[in-house]
């Protein structure tokens, strides 16, 4: 019997319960055992078992019928729920990117060297050449934004950006897949305008364009 770890007991209990449902232990319409029986099977207390049932009910897998018990109404989480969770996760990533990249854009406009500006320009051109394939497009997009963070001369912002890079990359790939399109002329133009603002030492405009771009991405997921 698989026992859950100590952290996030209710969520882990819900995952274990979902695995058992997927394995066919209870089919559609099947009734789950009571909390006193189910809780020790999952290695949690009754309150965690009860919360696990609530979690799966909220995700469209279980239904609680007053006076009758808990019944299986689906063998997997609905696609709509997966999309909701995916979008919520992407929004959180975009908010974190905004906190890092808006300040980096300000500092880059103030501190960039001519060599660093050339690096930003080179990254912008590379981004333009890789619009067809989503992973390649995201990779070149991140290289463009990292070049700006480097030009900000802020070791802390660079550390935050790099520490966040892997998660940010996957979230951006997910976002473009949800959005259904990527790499259009409007998007490339915004990045070009960010470059021009940094080239002109216009900190206010570079910040506003960066914030506006990321806010637009977030709104598209609403």
Tokens of 187: 């998007």
Beta bridge partners of 25: none
Task: Tell me the percentage of the chain whose pLDDT exceeds 90.
Answer: 42
Per residue in 172-209, pLDDT (tens digit) is: 887 777 665 566 888 899 999 999 999 999 999 999 99
Task: Tell me the percentage of the chain whose pLDDT exceeds 70.
Answer: 87
Per-residue confidence (pLDDT) for residue 111, from 0 to 100: 97
Q: Do residues 62 and 32 lie in contact, with contact meaning Cβ atoms separated by under 8 Å?
A: yes
Question: How big is the chain by its Cα radius of gyration, in Å?
Answer: 24
How far apart CA 88 and CA 86 sit, in angstroms, is 5
User: How many CA atoms does the CB half-sphere of 15 hold within 13 Å?
Assistant: 10
Per-residue confidence (pLDDT) for residue 7, from 0 to 100: 43
Q: Indicate the SS3 state at residue 128.
A: helix
Angle (CA) 27-28-31 rounded to 5° is: 75
DSSP secondary structure, 192-221, as one string = HHHHHHHHTT-HHHHHHHHHHHHHHHHHHT
Q: Is the pLDDT of residue 41 over 80?
A: yes
Question: What's the mean pLDDT when you consider all of the chain?
Answer: 85
Per-residue confidence (pLDDT) for residue 205, from 0 to 100: 97
**Within its chain, how far is the Cα of 130 from the centroid?**
22
Domains of the chain: 9-72 (1.10.10.10), 79-220 (1.20.120.530)
DSSP secondary structure, 12-75, as one string = HHHHHHHHHHHTTSS-TTPBPPPHHHHHHHHTS-HHHHHHHHHHHHHTTSEEEETTTEEEE--S
pTM beyond cutoff 0.75 = no
């Amino acid at each position: 019997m698989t026992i859950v770890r100590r952290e996030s007991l209710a969520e882990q209990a819900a995952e274990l319960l979902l695995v058992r449902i997927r394995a066919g232990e209870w089919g559609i319409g099947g009734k789950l055992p009571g909390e006193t029986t189910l809780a020790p099977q999952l290695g949690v207390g009754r309150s965690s078992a009860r919360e696990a049932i609530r979690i799966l009910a909220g995700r469209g897998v279980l239904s609680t019928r007053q006076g009758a018990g808990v019944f299986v109404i689906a063998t997997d989480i609905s696609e709509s729920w997966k999309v909701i969770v995916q979008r919520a996760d992407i929004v959180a990533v975009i908010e974190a990117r905004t906190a890092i990249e808006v300040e980096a854009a300000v500092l880059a406009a103030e501190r960039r060297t001519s060599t660093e500006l050339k690096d930003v320009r080179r990254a912008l051109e590379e981004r333009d050449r890789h619009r067809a394939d989503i992973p390649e497009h995201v990779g070149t997009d991140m290289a463009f934004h990292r070049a700006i963070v480097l030009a900000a001369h802020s070791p802390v912002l660079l550390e935050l950006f790099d520490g966040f890079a892997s998660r940010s990359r996957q979230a951006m790939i997910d976002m473009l897949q949800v959005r259904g399109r990527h790499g259009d002329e409007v998007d490339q133009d915004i990045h070009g305008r960010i470059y021009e603002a940094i080239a002109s030492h216009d900190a206010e405009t570079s910040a506003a364009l960066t914030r506006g771009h990321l806010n637009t991405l977030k709104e598209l997921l609403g």
